[in-house]
Amino acid sequence: MTRHLPPFGTLKLTREEEFAARQQASEVIQRTLALEIEYRRQGTAVDTKEWKKVSTVDDFHVYKQRRAVRRRSDPPIRRDTTCSVDIATPELFSVRDDSSTKWRDSTIAGSESTLDRSPSSWSASSGNEPRVPRILCTGNVEGNLEDFMYGVYDGDDDAWRLRAAYIKDKFDEARILATIEGPSKDDPFRFLGIKWFTTAYPPVVGSFIQKRDTLVIESMGIAKDEHGVPYGYYIMDDYAHSNLPDRSEYGLLRNKFSMCFIHRQLAPNRIGEYARGFVDSGGNVPPAVTISIASISLSSVTNGVETAYNKKLALLMASERGRRRAASAAPSSVCESCHKSAHGVLSRSLVDCHVCGHLFCGKCIVERKLIVDTQSCQMSSRALPFCFACILRAKQLSSADLMLTPDSKKQ
């Protein structure tokens, strides 16, 4: 039986430890970006002899590396197209910190050896073990890159809980142990920190799998590649610290986990997705089970843009409470949109929009499921009616501006 699990406290990192965390995150992003560039140079084709499809959600696909080729390293990167010197590493250091320049210089100087190694040699050693299958994710999601980053942002406790509620991440416990960097005017979607969490398994799976915890560096934001083209990145990479030992005495096994996503705006309403990494649950869990569970979580990125729209709509609803009350006080028997009148029994079919407060018929209104009580311990969604004009108005709000507005990340 698992003993009561006391939470980890806040992790106070030294300047050197923060520097090491930035470097670890940057190296993972750089390697994945090199692979993503090569993937697009080759026409986004996936070698099905090496990769076996595990799951598909819409146009997003998760693959695992086939056992027969698992001992091989990734194909070499073509230096003429993806030399790491040309890859714009995300700005993980303050421009006022002299150490950032020194680190970037050392990174460029070491770029030859970086690309000589397999780009899949992730920071956790288990990623190179033959029993641990590597993971590849490819595909597209609809929407705008900034909206997507706003939807998946989880750089503070409230934003993390809200994202989990919308995207259906299942956590038993979750803690942000250290925040190294947060949003700024230059990068509104910036986060770099240390996270710890335990996953809530489905009842059928949880009955025979020992509970596990995960300790990672998480980093996200928007940077530019060597051509000046913006791309979003999101990584969770296995982390270790002497003050955060494994919790085997409480019946927990610690996952080894590394995953890095690259998001690119390929068309006005299309975001290209590419991700590489691995998940090692340890113990006796078959890799196939681990991959199956992981694929569900990885596929949740397809809900990123929709989550952003819902967050914007909830924010707009909260800001327009006064307007809604004033509009609701003025009775009407005509749909505000199509102007068709409703009399008698039909007048009951008119519903007020939860933003503007005007009345609409069933054809001119739509229900959206929103998290409205963000302070409750158990966040739950409610189906609320909104007119099309207010939904469009919410979508058009600037995600970058909202990220720099107090409390907007929590809606």
Q: Confirm or reject CATH 3.30.530.20 for domain 15-304, answering yes or no.
A: yes
CA distance 132 to 287: 7
Question: What percentage of the chain exceeds 70 in pLDDT?
Answer: 76
pLDDT of residue 145: 98
pLDDT, one tens digit per residue, over 396-409 is 999 999 999 876 55
Q: Which of 20-29, 92-101, 140-149, 192-201 has the lowest mean pLDDT?
A: 92-101
Per-residue confidence band for 174, with pLDDT thresholds at 50, 70 and 90? confident
Domain positions in the chain:
15-304, 310-410
Q: What is the pLDDT of residues 25-41, one digit of tens each?
A: 999 999 999 999 999 99
Residue-wise pLDDT for 314-365, tens only, equals 999 999 887 777 777 667 788 999 988 876 555 568 899 999 999 999 899 9
In SS3 terms, 211-263 reads as CEEEEEEEEEEEEECCCCCEEEEEEEEECCCCCCCCCHHHCCEECEEEEEEEE
Mean pLDDT of 363-383: 84
In sequence order, the β-bridge partners of residue 256 are 280
Say how far apart CA 199 and CA 357 lie, in whole Å: 40
Alpha-carbon distance of 385 to 387, in angstroms, equals 7
The pLDDT value recorded for residue 293 is 83
Q: Which amino acid is at 241?
A: H
Q: In the CATH hierarchy, which fold is given to the domain comprising 310-410?
A: Herpes Virus-1 (3.30.40)
